[in-house]
Every structure is written in C-alpha cells, then in structure tokens.
C-alpha cells in the first residue's frame, strides 16, 4: 500500500495548512511520493507546539529523557528493514550501505540517550568563590530550537541533528531534507510511539529556502541550527537571527558516520549559576 507522508506537529500528523504538496523522487528520478509542502503558518503552528512542550520536557528528569531516547532507538531497531529500504530509495547506494546507515542512526540515539543524565555532571560545577557562599553552575536547555536538517543524509543526518537538541531538554522544529524527506517522516512515526511527549519534535517537509527565513526570524525561537543550509545562504539567516539574539549553530560539513562529539549538546544549552550564602 502507498503511504501518505504528512507533517508532524504537536504529536499529530496534519497535511500542510496550505494544502500544497510536491513530488519526491529517488536519485534516478522515480516518483516515490508526494510530500507535504509546509508553509509559514505551519512553521508558526510548530513553534507554538514546541513552546508548549518545552516546560514539560525540560522539567522531566534526565533519567526520564534518557529512557525516552533509548526507547526511540528500540523502536527504530524494530523497523530497521523498513528504514533501510526507505534510506536506499531516498539516497541510492547499496543495500548494505543503507543497513549500515540505519545502524548508525540507532547507535546515535543510544549515544545521546546515555548523555541525558551525564551532561550536567560533566559540564556543571561547584565554584570556589572567595566568600561565604555556595555557588554552582548547571547547563539548562536554551528553549525552542529551529533546525534545518542535512540535505544529503536523510535519516542519519537528521537524527544526528535532532537527538542532541532534545537530549538536554530543548524542543525543536526541524525542516527535513527537501529532496529526501521520506525517511524523516517515517521517523516521526517512531517518535510518536516512543513516549516522546507531543511537541518535543515537530517535523516539516517542504522547501527549506522558503521556510528557513521564517524560522530564523521567529521571535519565540531561541536558537537555530543551520546544518542543512548551504554556507552561501547562511549569512541572511544569521542576520535575521539577531532580532532576538538567537544562538546560531553553523557547523562545517560533518561525516555522519564518524563518532559524534559534544559540540552539538553544547550549542543549545545555557549555563545557570546559583548563589546562596553559607551561614548558621
């Protein structure tokens, strides 16, 4: 049976409010499906959903977030054949390469799942101030993160962008690869069945060039990840991001198959420092 690929906003699977769709083809030009072409209004709806989810997700225990991320890995693992087929359809290449890519994606969720309850330990501190005060610093999530997924790596790249954002308690609105959005849409079915609260991840398909400026200029988005944006197109978005002093993450090209580091976790946290007097 042919599947209908829709958006993922606030835990629901709506079509674009604009009613638009666009054809998605394989690298050799074979029609795979018609994906929803999200609009500015969809972006705004997704940001509302992400903001609504932020309090609960950022307030959840790190253990809880870690278990949810691990659950995502379990669900993905259970559907590895389906995803291997979808990745191969989207990206081409050999069957073995597609399987390896899915395995990497699963491993990425597991890696970040383990970080959820360790990141604050590694980056937080008790600070020895020169006075009768106890003083400590902890990382906290930045808020709602807008993200542009990599254009080439339809599943592993997307997972590598989304997972670190939500590990620390952020919520996100992510725009999938324009040419290869289908594995991302299927991933939202995994997210929806992994105890991830509604609105923590919101995924839009469509034209990044149309959607990114709205995300970059949105006043209720706290940070933006420009991974999937061509360097030539980044300056305008960085400029728009300054309207509300967004944190901007604009990394160099990454090899998604190599081991990740903590840079993506660090990009979307704030350090909070708390003081209290010591006395009797």
Partner 1 sequence: MPAFEYAPAPESRDVARLRASYGIFVDGRFRAGAGEAIKTVNPANEEPLAEVAEAGRADVDDAVQAARNAFEGAWGRMPGRERAKYLFRIARAIQERARELAVLESLDNGKPIRESRDVDIPLAAAHFFYYAGWADKLEHAGFGSRPRPIGVAGQVIPWNFPLLMAAWKIAPALATGNTVVLKPAETTPLTALTLAEIIAEADLPSGTVNILAGGPSIGQAIVDHNGIDKIAFTGSTEVGKAIQRAVAGTGKRLSLELGGKAANIVFDDAPLDQAVEGIVNGIFFNQGHVCCAGSRLLVQESVIDDVIAALHRRLTTLRLGDPLDKNTDIGAINSAAQLARIRELTDAGEEEGATRWSPPCDLPDRGFWFAPTVFTNVSQAHRIAREEIFGPVLSVLTFRTPAEAVEKANNTPYGLSAGIWTEKGSRILSMAGKLRAGVVWANTFNRFDPGSPFGGYQESGFGREGGRHGLGPYLA
Pairwise CA distance, residues 162 & 109, whole Å: 10
Residue 130 beta carbon to partner 1: minimum distance, rounded to whole angstroms: 6
Enumerate residues 6+ apart whose C-beta is below 8 A from 193. 75
CA nearest 215: which of 162, 148, 150?
148
DSSP tag of 127: -
Residue 28 beta carbon to partner 1: minimum distance, rounded to whole angstroms: 36
Please tell me whether residue 89 binds partner 1 under the rule CB under 8 A. Answer: no
DSSP tag of 5: B
Helices (H) and strands (E) in the chain — how many of each? 10, 10
Nearer to partner 1, 27 or 235 (CB): 235
Residues 141-160, interacting with partner 1 (CB under 8 A): 142-143
Residue 115 beta carbon to partner 1: minimum distance, rounded to whole angstroms: 14
HSE value, Cβ hemisphere, 13 Å, CA-based, for 279: 4
Residue 26 beta carbon to partner 1: minimum distance, rounded to whole angstroms: 34
Pairwise CA distance, residues 189 & 166, whole Å: 17
- Residue from 96, 127, 251, 257 that binds partner 1 (CB under 8 A)? 127
Please tell me whether residue 244 binds partner 1 under the rule CB under 8 A. Answer: yes
Residues 48-67, interacting with partner 1 (CB under 8 A): 59
Please tell me whether residue 130 binds partner 1 under the rule CB under 8 A. Answer: yes
Please tell me whether residue 235 binds partner 1 under the rule CB under 8 A. Answer: yes
User: Which element (helix H / strand E) includes 277?
Assistant: strand 269-277
Residues that bind partner 1 (CB under 8 A): 59, 122-123, 125, 127-131, 133, 135, 137, 142-143, 222, 234-236, 238-239, 241-245, 247, 266, 270-277
């Amino acid at each position: 049976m042919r599947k209908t690929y829709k958006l993922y906003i606030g835990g629901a699977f709506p079509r674009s409010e604009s009613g638009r769709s666009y054809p998605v083809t394989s690298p050799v030009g074979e029609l795979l499906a018609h994906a929803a072409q999200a609009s500015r209004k969809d972006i705004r709806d997704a940001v509302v959903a992400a903001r609504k989810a932020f309090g609960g997700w950022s307030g959840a225990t790190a253990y809880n977030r870690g278990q949810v991320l691990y659950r995502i890995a379990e669900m993905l693992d259970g559907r590895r054949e389906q995803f291997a087929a979808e990745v191969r359809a989207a990206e081409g290449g050999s069957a073995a390469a597609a399987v390896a890519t899915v395995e990497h994606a699963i491993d990425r969720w597991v890696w970040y799942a383990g970080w959820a309850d360790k990141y604050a330990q590694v980056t937080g501190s008790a600070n020895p101030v020169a006075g009768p005060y106890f003083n400590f610093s902890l990382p906290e999530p930045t808020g709602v993160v807008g993200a542009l997924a990599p254009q080439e790596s339809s599943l592993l790249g997307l997972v590598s962008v989304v997972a670190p954002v939500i590990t620390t308690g952020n919520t996100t609105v992510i725009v999938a690869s324009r040419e290869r959005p289908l594995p991302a849409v299927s991933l939202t079915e995994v997210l929806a069945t992994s105890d991830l609260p509604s609105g923590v991840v919101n995924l839009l398909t469509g034209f990044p060039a149309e959607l990114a400026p709205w995300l970059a200029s949105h006043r209720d988005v706290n940070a933006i990840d420009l991974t999937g944006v061509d360097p030539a197109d980044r300056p305008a978005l960085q400029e728009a991001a300054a309207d509300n002093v967004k944190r901007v993450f604009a990394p160099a090209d990454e090899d998604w198959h190599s081991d990740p580091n903590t840079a993506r976790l660090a990009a979307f946290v704030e350090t909070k420092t708390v003081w209290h007097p010591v006395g009797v």
